[in-house]
């Protein structure tokens, strides 16, 4: 037996349907809704939500009191019920329904030829252009739990969860979303992953933007998917106009939307990542079962077999990088977090100086920019920043010049201390062949640089500022007790893709000379420069040739740590995101490298210096990430 909703790598495909309707013409409306159901079947949609009162149309007014309309609505519902014998999707339609001596505005859930449940509207508006209380009773006005409709006894009430054991959804209707505590807030505490809202929101100046914000905020607050289908073309325009809003949101972000004011029927389709939502809830201790007196009833979804589908959604290749339209505000905020952290530590320690190594690379450049901004914020002389360039066996003229020129242009105290002689002496002390360019050769230089920084800091009552970034910490791309160590790591919460973004942003804020230097830093290959340059004097040791592209590793890091996704799902998402950039074999190769290094290098992260958390992910052993150093790496095929 198949599951009711077969999740494709954790995704379910949903749709907000905006049919062409006629006021009070139930047979016509049902036929147009059936067209969209069949279209949804072609697109392998698993759940389809129609607008509020879609069977009759929303704007029937006093016609709702006519028995003929109510009978026609039941006949139309029966037609849609018969349709679902030959389709696999769950469909949710809106219609008026008389229960005992009251009329309710309801959502009816159908699948596999059966009516699974009926949900009445909780909050009935009675203000301005809305006067639904003239016709409809609120859900709380009855204690009926089961009704008979289309010859079936079905659950009735707002406390219904529709579930197959792995995925659950619940329903609210229009006004329910706009009240201080929407029913969906209770639904998710009882286990609903997705909320469907059947609505008939009219258009007013500015209302659409507010509606989008409302849906985004509620989906974020509930850590849920939210599918909103609102009345459109065909509704009466006697007093108001309906634009046909179809919106699909996932945890605070609209991922699909309709064309407003269209006279064509629309099916807005996207996928909601249930595993992602459940992963967030797993970490959120507020998502425990609600202790209220209301008991929810679970309605089992019918078993159905769904074929696999290709996702319509796209995924950002650089999930850590803010969108360009928010660039200035986002970058200023990130810098403010880094500056705020360093400023507190600088003042708290009463350090006279801060000390950092300047290599001419991206990470040390960002750390220097943060240090300069911190000195300016505190009103300190920039000369209290001691930047040290420490040429070694792999230092190229390009990076050396950029380091020296940048320190000069920013007006800090500059020192130059070569590590060559000290490293050669150390090789002699430990009897290491200087022509053997192995890990000992490399790490000796990294540790010598760290010793210089620490001792200069002691000499000048200073604080050593770490320059390593989050991506390097994830990969363990740092020398243990070398560049791995500092007194405060300002970049420890910033992944490499974001480092590049921030340096690029900062280039626009500086003078022309400094901007030109930063541009060249951005164009320089990422390298620790611990191996001799090539025959042309260029960088021979390129990090991304060794450990792989940082944009891939940042993508892997984000989905593994932020959501706890399996390697198989991460590979699935990466193939979609990087389809035009890398071959599948390449992505899989570097994913295996990432996982192997991530697990093997935990011992370095277990003793990290302090540093500020910037985004949703941090690898501090005192905060976000606590992992045994001897854990076994995951298999990519798990």
For residues 246 and 267, give the distance between their C-alpha atoms in angstroms, rounded to a whole number. Answer: 8
For residues 448 and 426, is the Cβ–Cβ distance under 8 A? yes
Pairing between β-strand 266-273 and β-strand 11-18 as defined by DSSP bridges: antiparallel
Cα–Cα distance list, 289 to 251, 265, 278, 285 (Å): 19, 39, 14, 10
Neighbours of 118 (CB within 10 A): 22
For residues 226 and 173, give the distance between their C-alpha atoms in angstroms, rounded to a whole number. Answer: 12
Q: Give the residue among 563, 566, 637, 556 at the shortest CA–CA distance from 597.
A: 556
For residues 568 and 601, is the Cβ–Cβ distance under 8 A? no
Residue 204 sits at the vertex; the CA angle it makes with 203 and 206, to the nearest 5 degrees, is 115
Contacts of 624 (CB under 8 A, 6+ apart): 561, 613, 617, 618
Question: For the residues of 272-300, what is the DSSP string, one character each?
Answer: EEHHHHHHHHHH-TT-SPP-SSPPPEEEE
Question: For the residues of 478-493, what is the DSSP string, one character each?
Answer: S-TTTTT--SEETTTT
**DSSP 8-state secondary structure symbol assigned to residue 590:** H
Neighbours of 129 (CB within 10 A): 9
For residues 347 and 481, is the Cβ–Cβ distance under 8 A? no
Q: Crossing angle of helices 362-378/397-410, nearest 10°?
A: 10
Contacts of 64 (CB under 8 A, 6+ apart): 56, 70, 96, 103, 135, 136
The partner residues of 96 in beta bridges, in order of sequence, read: 105
Which residues are known catalytic residues? 52, 121, 174
Q: Is 167 left (phi over 0), alpha (psi -120 to 50) or beta?
A: beta
Backbone angles phi, psi at 393, to 5 degrees: -70, -20
Would you state the structure tokens that stand for residue 74, as one six-digit string? 């039941």
The rounded Cα 340 to chain-centroid distance in angstroms is 25
For residues 13 and 429, give the distance between their C-alpha atoms in angstroms, rounded to a whole number. Answer: 65
Residue 405 sits at the vertex; the CA angle it makes with 400 and 407, to the nearest 5 degrees, is 100
For residues 259 and 231, give the distance between their C-alpha atoms in angstroms, rounded to a whole number. Answer: 13
For residues 322 and 216, give the distance between their C-alpha atoms in angstroms, rounded to a whole number. Answer: 18
């Amino acid at each position: 037996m198949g599951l009711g909703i077969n999740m494709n790598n954790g995704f379910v495909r949903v749709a907000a349907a905006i049919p062409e309707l006629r006021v009070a013409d139930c047979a016509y409306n049902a036929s147009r809704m059936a067209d969209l159901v069949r279209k949804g079947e072609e697109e392998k949609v698993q759940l389809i939500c129609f607008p509020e009162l879609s069977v009759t149309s929303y704007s029937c007014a006093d016609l709702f009191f006519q028995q003929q309309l109510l009978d026609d609505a039941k006949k139309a519902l029966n037609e849609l019920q018969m349709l679902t014998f030959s389709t696999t999707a769950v469909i949710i339609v809106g219609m008026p329904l008389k229960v005992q001596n009251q009329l309710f505005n309801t959502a009816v859930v159908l699948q596999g030829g059966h009516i699974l449940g009926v949900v009445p509207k909780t909050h009935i508006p009675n203000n301005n252009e809305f006067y639904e209380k003239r016709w409809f009773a609120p859900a709380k006005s009855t204690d009926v739990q089961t009704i008979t409709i289309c010859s079936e006894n079905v659950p009735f009430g707002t406390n219904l969860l529709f579930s197959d054991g792995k995925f659950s959804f619940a329903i609210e209707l229009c006004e329910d979303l706009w009240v201080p505590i929407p029913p969906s807030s209770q639904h998710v505490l009882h286990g609903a992953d997705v909320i469907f809202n059947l609505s008939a929101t009219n258009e007013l100046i500015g209302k659409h933007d507010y509606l989008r914000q409302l849906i985004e905020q509620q989906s974020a607050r509930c850590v849920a998917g939210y599918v909103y289908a609102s009345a459109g073309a065909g509704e009466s325009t006697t007093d108001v106009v309906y634009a046909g809003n179809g919106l699909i949101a996932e945890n605070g972000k609209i991922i699909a939307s309709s064309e407003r004011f269209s006279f064509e029927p629309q099916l807005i389709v996207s996928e909601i990542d249930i595993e992602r939502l459940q992963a967030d809830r797993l970490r959120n201790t507020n998502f425990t079962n609600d202790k209220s007196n209301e008991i929810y009833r679970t309605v089992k979804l019918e078993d159905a077999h769904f074929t696999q589908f290709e996702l319509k959604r796209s995924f950002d290749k650089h999930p850590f990088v803010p969108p360009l339209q928010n660039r200035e505000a986002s970058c200023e905020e990130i810098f403010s977090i880094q500056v705020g952290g360093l400023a507190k530590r600088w003042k708290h320690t009463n350090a006279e100086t801060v000390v950092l190594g300047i290599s001419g690379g991206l990470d040390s450049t960002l750390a220097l920019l943060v240090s300069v901004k911190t000195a300016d914020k505190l009103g300190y002389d920039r000369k209290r920043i001691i930047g040290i360039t420490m040429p070694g066996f792999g230092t190229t003229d390009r990076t050396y010049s950029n380091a020296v020129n940048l320190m000069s242009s920013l007006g800090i105290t500059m020192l130059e201390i070569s590590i060559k002689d000290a490293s050669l002496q150390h090789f002699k002390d430990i009897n290491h062949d200087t022509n053997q360019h192995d890990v000992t050769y490399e790490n000796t230089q990294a540790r010598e640089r760290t010793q210089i920084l620490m001792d200069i800091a002691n000499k000048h009552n200073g604080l050593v500022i770490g320059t390593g970034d989050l991506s390097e910490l994830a990969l363990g791309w740092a020398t243990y007790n070398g560049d791995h160590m500092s007194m405060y790591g300002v970049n420890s919460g910033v992944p490499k893709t974001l480092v590049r973004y921030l340096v690029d942003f900062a280039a626009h804020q500086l003078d022309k000379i400094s901007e030109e230097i930063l541009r060249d830093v951005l164009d320089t290959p990422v390298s620790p420069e611990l191996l001799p340059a090539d025959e042309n004097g260029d960088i021979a040791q390129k990090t991304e040739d060794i450990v792989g592209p940082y944009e891939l590793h940042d993508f892997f890091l984000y989905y593994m740590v932020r959501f706890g996704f399996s390697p198989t799902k991460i590979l699935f998402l990466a193939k979609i995101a990087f389809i035009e950039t890398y071959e599948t074999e390449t992505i899989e190769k570097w994913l295996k490298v990432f996982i192997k290094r991530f697990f093997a290098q935990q011992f370095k992260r277990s003793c990290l210096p302090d540093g500020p958390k910037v985004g949703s992910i941090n690898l501090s052993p005192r905060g976000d990430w606590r992992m045994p150093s001897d854990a076994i790496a995951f298999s990519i095929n798990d």
